[in-house]
Structure 1
Amino acid sequence: MTHNGDDIEAAMVRLLYRQSLGILFANFVIPAAVVYALRETTSFHLLLAWMGAIYVLTFCRIGLSLMFFRHGESGATAPRQWVTRFAIFSWLSAALWGFLGTMWLLPPDPEWVAFACIVLAGMACGAMPGLSARLGVYIGFMTIMVLPFVLTCMVREESIYRVFLMFALALYVVNVYFGRVTHRTLRSGVELRFENVALIGQLERERDRANAANLAKTRFLAAASHDLRQPLHALGLLSASLSAVAERGDVGADGARQLGRRLDTTLERMGGLLDGLLDVSRLDAGLVTIRRRPLPLATLLDDIRDEYVEQARRQGCRLEVVVTEAWIDSDPELLRRILDNLLSNAIRYAPMARILVGARRRPGAMEIQVIDTGPGIAPEQQALVFEEFAQLPDAPAEQGLGLGLAIVRRLANLLDHPISLRSAPGKGSNFSVTVPLARNANAPSATDAPLSAFSQASQKIECYGVMLVDDDPQILAALSDLLTFWGHLVYAGATVEEACAAHQRAREQGPAPVHLVLADFRLANQVTGDQAIGWLREYLDAPIPGLIVTGDTAPDRLRALHASGYRVLHKPISADALRQAISETVREASDLPEDQS
């Protein structure tokens, strides 16, 4: 636990002033008793002058303390200056008390020497708690006060003064020692107090963080309860429509296609909501890999225009994309996700608005802007929109879980691309991301071809042997039917043993090749998908490629899946994505296995 040394010093100075109030009170009482006791042994006028000087100095010290408590505690003046002032007054007081031990005030009779020794010892011990907050002040006080008495004892020749001398020296040494102990105790107490304050502050921050997490969870549950129920409700209605149409007899092709499109649209909406959660979990798990390279900004903006112009038109928006020729340095996939989120938000939250996408040159960078003429965002809500599960009060019904801009912020931080928001109610919004210019602009390589090129080249349906393991009976049956419909040979089971048994039955009837193992991640009896793939590889005695399907989004689960080395698909999975993943996984295997019969 760290603490500020200046704060500790300031606290020790406050202790110095506060604990010295008792010694100031003693400066009023003891001088009067000394004058009364010595009134007939020495010059009475000298005694009165000595007492008056102590009183005047004590009033000055009280005034200094009042000034400190009024101004010094606020920190307006450096603590060192207040220590210097305090030390000067304390040492002047020590000099006056030390004058009591000189030959001018001290009678030569041993009993009065003993009396003076007792008075000085009392003042030395009484000053220890107050002055030990600054050890140097106390040592100076002791030295100045005791030194005159020591010199007096050394000058006088009577043997009794040797005893008083030894007593005075012992008093000095013992008080300095205990002054050091007291100083360390006081300082340790102050340090402990600051550590407790720091610990309390840390606990309060942790409490606030926990409260924020709890609020985020509450917002998520509220959003998920509504936004995930909507597509589920739509699916229920569409399923009822399919049943009603089927009861009427033959289903027309147009009607079936229309219901199919509605089902696809609803599933896409649900998948988009769940993909947002998955993106946040991947970022939390640190599984997002950055692959920077020079890329042409003009191509990026062209692709955005081609993809979103029709979507914007359906929402009544007028999308304009100003293409700028420049080469920027970024991860094309992650940057595209940032811009996709910004543009999707603009279309969703600013219907019937004009949306402009363009870029401005900045020193060594390009600032890509998404500007809309929509309702705008109030200043007090502008920081909120970048938080997870945050949703604006006037947002449309299909607004999602409020993760889009949170993902934008995290991706921008990951890429070190500053993001900014300028908006005002009724005047639209301007979201921007600043991307550095590429130092060496190279033409795109063959490996940078868009994904659609592979998709177009892989439209041919290929048939494989697939061992399928899933402990959910409905998913197992549905997935088996779908794979069989695509022409694959499927050996399915809820456990590894059942899948092996299915494969054995197929072998008895003829060739039973296996090209892929498709397994759910969470299986019965705490078996994981990667374990199932490993056991099936042992059964087949071949390095069959594996594909894991999961609905987990927790960061620790994602890290475990990533460490398995197998390709992972996250539920819900579209049919096209599943078909493409199966084809790619088999193609990317180093050696396709021979038919297993």
Structure 2
Amino acid sequence: MLAASAVGFLLLLLNLSVQHEAVMDNLVRMRQARMAGVGLLQATIDAETGQRGYLLTNDEEYLAPLASGRIAARARLSELRERAGASGELEPQLVRVAALTEDALGALERTIELKRSGRLRAAALRVELDRAKASMDPLRTEISGVLRQIERISESGRARERSTRGAIYWIGGLLGALTVLAVGLTLWALGLERRSWRGALEALTRANEAAERAAEMAAASDLAKTRFLAVASHDMRQPLHALTLYLSALERRVQGEEARDILSRMERATQSMVGMFATLLDLARIQANAVKPEIEICALDDIIARVVDNHADGAVEAATTGLYVSSDPVLLERLLRNLVANAVKHGGGKARIEMRKAGDVAEIAVADDGPGIPPEERERVFEEFVRLDKSGGVEGLGLGLAIVKRIADILRMPLELQSAPGQGARFIVRPPLAMAQTRAPSAPTPPGLMPLTGVPVLVMDDDPLAREAVSGALRDLGAVVQACANESGVRAALTAGARPRLMVMDLRIDGQLQGIEIARRARAELDPPPAIIMITGDTGPETLEALRASAFKWLIKPVDPRDLSEAASASLKATISA
């Protein structure tokens, strides 16, 4: 009798265990479904933020969160349907969520297409924004409803889990009473297992919640970086741009030796600030994955020559090689500039660039005769804000080598450090070799700068401080300058009879990158067509590609007066030759 009861209780215990496992599996699925629902909600917010940012600023960098949000939304929707679909009561809501998701994403994409095609006028912008929001609100409401239903199902499952667990313990106690010591030991082991399992489940719950918080923080961080780059690339360059030009204008007006010495120190401090700002912006753009390599065949000697020319008084030694490499010339030059600047700072003011062919790669080494780097510090030198020289006698943020490492990773190019204490350091990169390209000989350029005395120049910039600074710099060069804020001002000047030989135009006017088109329209009305110089603080890859395609001279803010003078001279010479 007792044996039959024990067997019956044992079978009942096994049945309850199977039920308990099924309940736990359903709880895990509901938890995963909740995470997918939260992820879908966040993805729709990211997509809408990218759409609104692009419509309001016309800055295509906002399309990145739109694209990633759209992809993430569809992925999270698929995961939500997979995890929650087993519950039949959720199926109607999941169908509505899927339909609303496609409708909302389609509405966002339609506004982007309208904006790109030029059919979305300013007057209709708010209407389209409200319409897109109206398509998003029902989706978010439906997702919130699904999450509440998932929580209700989960709460019911937890109640069933507690009930089955209590029944299991009760029957286990009876079996323990019947089987005395043997079953008692079995229940003791089972109790240990259950406590361990509950601890693991609680730890998994905490880990899932922490992962959700981390994902939300990462999404917010990515959006913040995108916004920072959009602002820093233009607005934060404006005051530095004006300050550089005003300091140069002041230098031409100061006579006293003491005052000129103070002004020289101010210029050095400003250039140091400009350099640090550019370095920070470079690092931010790289960390935000806003830098994409544009691989082409380029002459290594041309890149090295530009790097050497950046350092006066023979501080950098380099030989010619005639080698061609397959790489992004802008990123490769930036990498080598940072390596050379690091070598000059820490190598007693001197650096060497050594190049040779090594199989199918070009081996480029930047070497110095400085104090060297201890073995234990060789990995740290590539970290952000690490400076081995703690004396304070060397300027910098400790970011140059960190940027070098990240550019090398972007270019998929090996980076090697050879150094020993007291024996200097050699940083080696190895871009792949390419076949030499036959280049047409360039037309001879007349020596010297072409004077701007009496040359009529039209300046366009919607920032009053920058407009006046550029105009003042050109007037100091002898030009006759007329300044305006936008295309309406340009049109008024031409209508009044202005016939500029040179037009210096800011790329971003009234919040949009329309300077190139304004310049083309104005140039088409003039005979002979004037030379064009574009000035920009936007350094995104699409912007730089548009500037290169325009065939106009262009300068990046903050603009040095010497660079402005050289660009103006070269542009005027080009129009005379044409």
Q: TM-score if structure 1 supplies the norm length?
A: 0.48
Which structure carries more relative contact order (alpha carbon 8 Å, separation 6+)? 2
